[in-house]
Structure 1
Amino acid sequence: MTTAPNAAFVRRWSPAPGIVFLGPVEGSGLKDRSYLLQRGDGQIVQLSALLYLVVVSISAEKSLEDTARDISDAYGRELGVTGLLHLIDRRLAPMGLVRNAEADAADAPTPPKADPLLALRLRGTLVPDNAVNALARILAPLYWGPVVVAVLLVLAAVDVLVIARSDFMASLEQILLTPALLLGIFALLTVAAVVHELGHATACRYGGARPGVIGVGVYLVFPAFFTNVTDSYRLGRAGRIRTDLGGLYFNCLCLIGLGGAYLLTGQGFFLLAAGLMHFQMIQQLVPTLRFDGYFVLADIAGVPDLFNRIRPVLLSLIPGRPIDPRVSELRPFARRIVTAWVVTVVPLLVLALGWMLLNLPMIIEQTATAIRQHAGLAGDAIAAGDPTAASLSMLSILMLSLPVIGLAILLYRLLSVVISLLRRLGKRAWSTTAEQAGVPRHLRAGTPQTGKPLQKGRSAMAIAVPPAAMPDDDVPQAPLRAPAHFQAPAYFPAPATIPDDVPTLQDFLADRPTQPAPLAEAGWQGAVRRLSRNSLSLGPGRRELAHLDAVEEVQRRLDGPRTVVVVNPKGGAHKTTATLLLAATLGIQRGGYTLAWDNNETRGTMGWRAPLAGHAGTAVDLMQEVDRFEDPVLGRIGDLDRFVRYQGSAQFDVLASDEDAAGAATIGSREFDRLHTALRRFYRIIMVDTGNNMRSSNWEAAVAAADELVIVSTVREDTVASAVWLVDGLRERGYEDKVRNAVTLLAAPSLKTDLQLHDRTRTHFESLTREVLDVPYDKSLVSGGPLNYQALLPATREAWLRASAAVMRGL
């Protein structure tokens, strides 16, 4: 007799429609790596590495068992079906990120969206995305460094001249004598606000992201323009900050025009408009509300949800209370910025709100009196046939009414938040009372009767980030592949058969304290730490953190041996150098078990670039005794020392090709396969340097056996053309998947590089391969003599570390 499987275990899940995987957060202020994706409704969601991998891995074509196995292999920790279902049901499904493939889409609950207290509402499109991108593409050169410097210098000169020659009182008198000019200033500032938003879009485009629409919405009750820069989330910190400041930069261009117009005409109209624009720019930099200054500060800290951190920070500042997890998960630098922002902004907002509440009766009374006066003036103007005066009076009534209406809406929303908080506290108090009274857990309201949820350790994170605007359907989407970097979780859910009240090993391990943050070793932070004898325990800076992340990616666990094949059919393309440097970097960082293999059908040069290690053994010599290394009993790694050349402190071995000038032996496909099968028993990573003949059988065998390809080329026209021809040939032979997962390395042939050729090459290979990286010119590699890793410049070693990390991401 068989038991029917649980229905939850046979369900088929898939990512929700419209999901766009934006990749890892660059410049994040969180200690753990996090990832971004965009829902079909435009909501940006920030996920932990584990949850992101679950969304990437699930498919309606795969069973939950297969999905859990794939996630375990990629994540490096065992995840069962029970734990996978817990993450799907409790974390991802409520966020609208996955759906049951067999369920009706109409029955799916509406996923939550970020609903901040101070948010832009009632949004509509003003300029469509196609027009925005066309304008941004034309204006993008304005963000070139020399142009930015020139604009700022010109603005400073114009401001000095305007201040020296201005007469503000005369200008104000001119406006008072001609009230219609007020409407002109209002219209001019409105146009400048649209230009401000175009500056954000242009900066987004210049950084490599795609802006969307420029629109208009309501902020509280005030009309406000906005720009769709949702795609800028995929940029690094510098690109996001440039996008944040892009509007103010375009305001600078407007100020140059207004100042120049005033200097040429002497009209006070332009002077007052420029003065008001300066005031608006200063207002935009204030980080208390969601203006440009708020987003600049958020991107500097790497924390996109500053307002959501207010409560955790305030609770963590109370003496005797433990630090809230949403505070402890921040890097030290980000934590200091967020804490300083909270302790500054909260008192200011409380004081401002208190002042408004105390003066609310007087504000309402004076506003009502002023509205009655302007209403009377408007009626008189209409009766006298003066549309300009009537329009000014109506505009005044509108501007007087908006602050009061906005304050009423703000108070209503604050009251709703307070009521919701009181209800939550009441439920929590009732739950605590019930527990003390001995009420069984399964009889309490809202408590599920399923297995124990994840309660201890770091929980999987799902943070809703307010979108800048709606998404673009034309944004190119990267193919679904496993994220590049994961960190093991602090726990996994226990099997459903274990009772709730019995602690398990996972519970014990989940209580372990988090590892201490690393101390700075480089940069000014490391110098200060050493000079202070560790009295000031500073954390690593941005560059050192990037270095540590690359090292961690290089050291990630593999579940079996891997073969990486370096290809380019042209001689002098940097293949041998790339193979040796990648093997050296992997050997040093991973502690050995790495082989660099010169797979030339006749003779290669790798043996000349590596020390002889006391013998001249080659692949041909190893082939003669390959039988013993294929045998699981007779084969020993120590016996390989007669054929491979150990590279000392670089901790990798070299297997050279035939070096006998009179020899006739060659390595074909059959010989390669036998050697490859034997060597996989002794090495975790095999780096294969191929020859220059794409038609040779051993070249074909190496590409067929490759887990990943590395396409190498110097930035020269003939070498690049050879690499392009190679990719075309690989795709025609059915290796399109391997090309898509390949890494392209562009090596500088000299101190001066053809920038135009470099940009063309990079653009071409970015559309074909997974990653394209640059490696710098280093004079220690020019001679072609034996490789000395320690003689490389620090920048060269760092570049090859990043290249090695990119290779490991493909494995």
Structure 2
Amino acid sequence: MLVHSSVSLSAYDGQRWVINPAAGPHLLVNAGGARLFTILQQATCIDQALRDFNQAFATSLTAAEFWQLVTSRFASYGILRAEASVDSGATHGKDYIKLRIPLLTAAGAGRLAAPFHILFAPRVFWGLLLGQSVLLAAVLGPAQLVPPQNAQEAFGVGAAVYGSLLLHEAGHIAACARLGLRHGGIGFGFYAYVFPVLFADITGIWQATKQQRVIGNLAGIFMQLLLATGLTTAYLLQPYAPLLLASTGIALTAVWQLNPFVRRDGYWLLSDLTNTPNLSEQAAQARQELLRGQQWTARRLVLGIYGLLNGLAFGALLLYLLFLHGPAMLELPAALPALLGELPARWPHLTHSQLVALGCYLVWLRVGVATLVQRKRKP
């Protein structure tokens, strides 16, 4: 066998397959790539693999040409037992969560999620999701919220909302474990280097069917809504305003995760529902085709419209931030040298507007650098 025994192949849709290494990124391949992997998996030596490949694809490659093809497709993914020292040009895909800090190991995350496995049987999951959504909409929709009356109530509401974020990630782990798929741990990082987020490593979900991936995508939202439902039920039994406030905050936080324009649950849900890996990149390309008036299929039209909406959403957010924090954004470039000279001592004293302005400039810098790099790579 020329590939590691721990590496497996699973169907993604009718035309594509996923190669699943024991560690590292998963690789999406077409029928040809899947056939090549199977040949390598079944062969006991490179000569046998070469003969099987030439017969299967009606080619006459030499051993050197064949191995160059193999490494150009699979090198650096942890698939091959002996990888040639070549520059394959392969990429592992973009990791949008940076500066990762592990909080729970895979074993720890698994223990945290273990009590919730039963909830992710499909009938249980969909029934509970529908029921709690109806209950929360009926109770929280017309509710009159009362602000916390003291520090103790404010702390309790905040603890419930932020604690639901850890429960959210545990839901992703539980769904993955319920399906018998490999999962990693839970950690903390920064989305696009700026926005702090919790994350769960469930890259093994690639091996699941579409329905299973959809459940995995919604698992975190499901767990937050479950907590909100529990707090709402407690409020109905014993009216206490902070319970209703915490439930509303958790529900709104969960619903926000459905936003398809940032790489959170809603984005991955849309990606899986449409069978479109690299959704953002595909949508950006389709948007350019749409604006240029090129011929498109119905699917490319939908992707192009999503790409347009994605750009409009980013523009609307920018205008909103300029409206709220415009003076701070205009003043920051001139004040930045002195500000940097005083950090980190002054960090706790930065105003909310200054932090927002700094975050915006960091995002713009990152987008500008990424655009320049992309243009430089184009032939």
TM-score by length of 2: 0.79
1:108 shift after superposition: 7.9
Q: 2:120 aligns with which of 138, 143, 147?
A: 143
Contact residue 325 and residue 356 of structure 2 kept, 8 A: no
Matched, 1:62 2:45: yes
**Equivalence map 1:219-618=2 (5 Å):** 219-220=191-192, 221-319=194-292, 321=294, 334-353=299-318, 356=321, 361-364=326-329, 402-424=355-377, 428=379
Matched, 1:205 2:205: no
Matched, 1:35 2:17: yes
Q: Percent identity?
A: 20
1:485-533, Cα deviation, whole Å (9 max, x unpaired): xxxxxxxxxxxxxxxxxxxxxxxxxxxxxxxxxxxxxxxxxxxxxxxxx
Q: Give the match's secondary structure for 1:285.
A: coil
1:96 shift after superposition: 6.6
How many Å separate the matches in 2 of 1:35 and 1:58?
Answer: 15
**Equivalence map 1:175-190=2 (5 Å):** 175=148, 177-190=149-162
Q: 2:93 aligns with which of 97, 114, 121?
A: 114
How many Å separate the matches in 2 of 1:256 and 1:301?
Answer: 30
Q: Give the match's secondary structure for 2:285.
A: helix
Q: 1:77 aligns with which of 50, 58, 67?
A: 58
How has the CA–CA distance of structure 1 residues 342 and 156 changed in structure 2, closer, same or farther, with 3 Å as cutoff? same
Question: How many aligned residue pairs are there?
Answer: 362
Q: Give the match's secondary structure for 2:183.
A: coil
1:195 shift after superposition: 1.1
Give the number of the structure with larger relative contact order, counting CA–CA contacts within 8 Å between residues 6 or more apart: 2
Q: Which has the higher helix share?
A: 2
1:320-367, Cα deviation, whole Å (9 max, x unpaired): 6576xxxxxxxx675454233223212322443466568764244799
1:315 shift after superposition: 3.4
1:192 partner letter: S
1:120 shift after superposition: 1.1
How has the CA–CA distance of structure 1 residues 249 and 79 changed in structure 2, closer, same or farther, with 3 Å as cutoff? farther
Contact residue 71 and residue 84 of structure 2 kept, 8 A: no
1:254 shift after superposition: 0.6
1:440-473, Cα deviation, whole Å (9 max, x unpaired): xxxxxxxxxxxxxxxxxxxxxxxxxxxxxxxxxx
1:579-632, Cα deviation, whole Å (9 max, x unpaired): xxxxxxxxxxxxxxxxxxxxxxxxxxxxxxxxxxxxxxxxxxxxxxxxxxxxxx
How many Å separate the matches in 2 of 1:18 and 1:122?
Answer: 32
1:249 shift after superposition: 1.3
Q: Give the match's secondary structure for 1:36.
A: strand
1:402-437, Cα deviation, whole Å (9 max, x unpaired): 533331221111110232244345xx4xxxxxxxxx
2:58 partner letter: R
2:358 partner letter: I
1:658-692, Cα deviation, whole Å (9 max, x unpaired): xxxxxxxxxxxxxxxxxxxxxxxxxxxxxxxxxxx
How many Å separate the matches in 2 of 1:408 and 1:343?
Answer: 23
1:342 partner letter: G
How has the CA–CA distance of structure 1 residues 213 and 284 changed in structure 2, closer, same or farther, with 3 Å as cutoff? same
1:179-205, Cα deviation, whole Å (9 max, x unpaired): 453333222112111111122222223
Match of 2:341 in 1: none
1:343 partner letter: L
1:66-106, Cα deviation, whole Å (9 max, x unpaired): 32221244x45335227524523544447675475676xxx
In structure 1, runs of 5+ residues without a counterpart are 1-12, 324-331, 369-393, 429-811
User: What is the RMSD of the two structures over their aligned residues, measured on CA atoms?
Assistant: 3.7
In structure 2, runs of 5+ residues without a counterpart are 334-347
Contact residue 221 and residue 255 of structure 2 kept, 8 A: no
Q: 2:102 aligns with which of 115, 125, 130?
A: 125
1:78 partner letter: T
Contact residue 213 and residue 272 of structure 2 kept, 8 A: yes
Q: Give the match's secondary structure for 2:17.
A: strand
Q: Give the match's secondary structure for 1:317.
A: helix
How many Å separate the matches in 2 of 1:162 and 1:354?
Answer: 30
1:139 partner letter: F
1:185 partner letter: V
How has the CA–CA distance of structure 1 residues 162 and 361 changed in structure 2, closer, same or farther, with 3 Å as cutoff? closer
1:248 shift after superposition: 1.5
How many Å separate the matches in 1 of 2:223 and 2:203?
Answer: 20
Match of 2:338 in 1: none
1:299 shift after superposition: 0.6
How many Å separate the matches in 1 of 2:267 and 2:303?
Answer: 11
How has the CA–CA distance of structure 1 residues 50 and 151 changed in structure 2, closer, same or farther, with 3 Å as cutoff? closer
How many Å separate the matches in 2 of 1:20 and 1:232?
Answer: 15
Contact residue 143 and residue 203 of structure 1 kept, 8 A: yes
1:287 shift after superposition: 0.4
Q: Give the match's secondary structure for 2:94.
A: coil
1:222 shift after superposition: 2.7
How many Å separate the matches in 2 of 1:318 and 1:365?
Answer: 32
How many Å separate the matches in 2 of 1:212 and 1:273?
Answer: 30
1:195-244, Cα deviation, whole Å (9 max, x unpaired): 11122222223334243312222223232111122111111110000111
Q: Which has the larger radius of gyration?
A: 1
